[in-house]
Amino acid sequence: MGFLENDRTGRAALVLLLIAVGALGALLLSDHLMIGPGHPPPGALQQWYIPRPGYEYAENGSVVVNRTIEGDIVLSGDIEEGYPPPFPDLSPYCSHAVYLDTGSGDRYLVVNWYFDDDADLARAEGNLCSYLRSSGNVASAGLILPGEPDRSPDAPIVSPITVTKYESETSSGYFGVVEKPLSPEHDDYFIVYYGVFGPAVLPDHTAALEELMLRSYSLRGARSLASCT
Amino acid sequence: MKIIRPKKVLPALLMLLLAASVLLPIVGAAATTGELYQTTECSPERDLTVSVHTASSIASLKVNEIAGNIPDFADWRNGNVEFSTTYYNLEGVPTAYSFDVVVNGEYRGYILVSATRNNYPILEFSKGFAPDKCSELMTHSSEIAGKFAEKRGLNTGDAELLYLGATFYYAKFPLADSRGIKQGSVIIDLTAPSVVDESSTRLPVTGDEFLQQQQEKQKEIDVLWEALDDQMTSPDPTISAESVTGTSGYINGVPTYLWQLGCSPTASAMVLGYWDSHGYPNFPGEDPLIQELATAMGTTPEGSTWPWDIDDGIDEVCANHGYSSMDSSDDAWMTFDEVKSEVDAQRPFVLSLWSGGTPIGGDEPYGDHSVTCVGYHDYTEDWVSIHDTWDTQIHNVVYGDWLGAMATWVRP
């Protein structure tokens, strides 16, 4: 009888062991089955806030580019890697683009600096502020973006953001800092600039710049440059 | 914390088993290591080796074909190819040849041609740099190997470059002691320079099921090589009529949303965003739609999603907005014919990839990623056209350039 009991206990142990091994295997395998996060690489994030052209198929199946961003504003040239003059080199992940208002002939500039570390962001903010102060006038400002396009009817019709206003002979516009906009779990930080080329009366261009902001990734939660306040 | 619903446990386990049975054979199928030759040992008369000379002709032909077919690569027209290097598998058997694409004396990218007829003829092409051309990467890898050897009192020799499948690039450094006696080797992963355990690099899976899967894959590969043979021996092999006049399909009007909260909810939102402007206007805008989908499909805070929750999440969101009749379903056995049929029916769908390769012209592999499929190209090589959540462009991926894939059809 004792032998039989031992045998039964052994079998039960074997079954339990097999279940445990199976469960462990399933658990290990399941780690590889989850899809994502598919987080964009830095090369993509360095263009994140730059309004992009649209791409559509033509009747012959080729892809055509629609450079119109909104109204009379069109992308002029391509989205370029790197920082444009006169701004300083703040991050290896930077892109910029120039837009033309075909009605007025005004040219606008959007710059996107990307960081994956908040210490790098803080350092860059400091360097940028030093440059901005030495080359023009800096002040905090608030912008109230109208209801963002393609948003829920329930969403707020205005979206106030805080920015840093910059005015100089070469370019005037607004700087904003956005932290972790893709997901609270990802260390993504951006400094973005929406400005007009040349000496300009900034309020005359704010509507066009807000239009560009609305055609960018959401600026919800944007703040001004910390070191400039 | 995600609550596992009891009714989901069985399907989940079934999916695990199913995925395991799908993934494991495909892991082997996509790899190009020496053991793959076992599948053809039964027909030793077949010479599967592709010479550098033949590969060079293929590369030259394909460069012009690519220039004629892909607008982004139009500047490759009349480009020349120059042999760059040979990639090997773990056993030292050539797997791929890399050629520089040169136009008017300027480097314009590279094209990778298979060194064996056991794999697709064209493995990759890009306007970027192949790992062997990236001196910084090679130097860094060499330093890592040097440190590894130094810790063990050994020296490293010249690296042999390995290509074990799409985006799986390694450098194998031989090790020797102070007397010059070989002491094994160290392998460095070139995509994220670090020492890798040889046993953890992708090795083919053998077994009957694998052999069967591989034989089926091989049929498709054989068709491509035969088409290429015909092309190469035709009187005017510059651009094949077949490759230029292949069929393609596309869907216009699919919005391009950028990544938010996770790739699966973002890719799914693009599908529902399309339907929002095609007769189902109750869906919310981009941000709330992605948020709602992420919640419904239980996307983790990091942005990952269980694949079998994607269709349920879409169904739930559709029902929330009064479209209970909309049906979403997962398909782990997707075929290219189904892709074509779905696109021709003007129904975008979510394509979830495991270890997805690099898009044509891109320089970053997708890895585990959900994208939105909006088109296809049925040429000598099949492509799917996608919105990838990383930008607003339409990208093309070679069909099958992944370890595993699952479609989530969304049908009104």
A41 CB neighbours in chain B (<8 A) are 364, 390
User: Would you give per-residue pLDDT tens digits along chain A (229 residues)?
Assistant: 555 567 778 888 888 888 888 877 776 666 678 999 999 999 999 999 999 999 888 776 777 888 999 999 999 988 999 999 889 999 999 999 999 999 999 999 999 999 999 999 999 999 999 999 999 999 999 998 875 554 444 554 457 899 999 999 999 999 999 999 999 999 999 999 999 998 899 999 999 999 999 999 999 899 999 988 7
pTM of the model: 0.66
Print the SS3 string covering A127-139: HHHHHHHHHCEEE
Q: Supply the pLDDT for residue B203.
A: 43
Rounded Cα–Cα distance for residues B28 and A27 (Å): 22
Q: How many CB atoms lie within 10 A of CB A201?
A: 10
The answer for B 268-287 residues in CB contact with A (under 8 A) is 284-287
**pLDDT category of residue B234 using cuts at 50, 70 and 90:** low
Quote the Cα angle for A172-A65-A98, to 5°.
15
Banded pLDDT at B29 (limits 50, 70, 90): very low
Question: In chain B, what residues touch A218 (CB-CB under 8 Å)?
Answer: 287
Q: Note whether B304 and A34 are within 8 A (CB).
A: yes
Q: Average the pLDDT over B91-114 and give the result.
A: 89
* Domain B247-411 sits in CATH 3.80.10.10: no
The answer on pLDDT for B34 being more than 60 is no
Q: Which residues of A touch B (CB under 8 A)?
A: 26, 29-30, 32-41, 43-44, 47-48, 52-57, 61-63, 148-155, 182-186, 217-218
In this prediction the ipTM stands at 0.86
Look up residue B104 and give its two tokens: 């008017």
Nearest to B358 by CA among A108, A43, A211: A43
pLDDT of residue B214: 62
Question: Chain A residues with CB inside 8 Å of B391's CB?
Answer: 44, 47, 52
Lowest model confidence (mean pLDDT) among A32-41, A94-103, B183-192, B351-360: B183-192
Nearest Cβ partner of B262 from A29, A36, A152? Answer: A36
In 3D space, the residue among A81, A28, A73 whose CA is nearest the CA of residue A51 turns out to be A73
Using alpha carbons, select from B97, B95, B129 the residue that is nearest to residue B110: B129
Residue B28 pLDDT greater than 60, yes or no: no
The reported pLDDT for the residue numbered B8 is: 43
Two tokens, residue A215: 């055609």
Q: How far apart are CA B147 and CA B285, in angstroms?
A: 53
| Domain spans in chain B, listed from the N-terminal domain onward | 52-132+205-244, 134-200, 247-411
Flag whether pLDDT at B237 surpasses 50.
no
Cβ-Cβ contacts under 8 Å, A183 against chain B: 260-262, 301-303
Q: Which residue of A has its CA nearest to B19?
A: A33
Query: Choosing among B75, B202, B259, B385, which should be mutated to test the A contact, i.e. which has the most A CBs within 10 A?
Result: B259
d(C-alpha A147, C-alpha B306), whole Å: 34
Determine the residue of chain B that is closest to A65 in CA distance: B393
Q: CA-CA distance, A153 to B228, in Å (whole number)?
A: 55
Residue A36: CB atoms within 10 A of its CB come to: 27
Beta sheet of A137-146, edge-to-edge order: A68-70, A73-81, A93-101, A107-115, A189-197, A171-179, A158-167, A137-146
CB-CB neighbors (< 8 A) of A148 in chain B = 285, 287
Query: Closest Cα of chain A to B345: distance in Å?
Result: 16
Check CB contact under 8 Å for B302 and A183. yes
- Under an 8 A CB cutoff, do A36 and B392 touch? no
What pLDDT does residue A188 have?
97
CA distances from B40 to A5, B36, B164, B203 (A): 52, 8, 18, 17
Q: Is A35's CB within 8 Å of B306's CB?
A: yes
Contact A37/B16, CB-based, under 8 Å? no
Q: Tokens 């109750």 correspond to what residue?
A: B282
Q: What tokens were used for A57?
A: 């198929």
SS3 of A2, please?
helix
Q: β-strand B182-189 against B194-196: which pairing, if any?
A: antiparallel
Task: For residue B269, name the pLDDT band (cuts at 50, 70, 90).
Answer: very high
Among the residue ranges B106-120, B209-223, B258-272, B316-330, the one predicted with the least confidence is B209-223
DSSP E strands: which ranges in B119-191?
122-126, 155-156, 160-163, 169-176, 182-189
- pLDDT given for residue B326 in this prediction: 95
To the nearest 10°, the Cα dihedral for B141, B152, B89, A34?
-70
Chain B residues closer than 8 Å to A39 by CB: 259, 263, 303
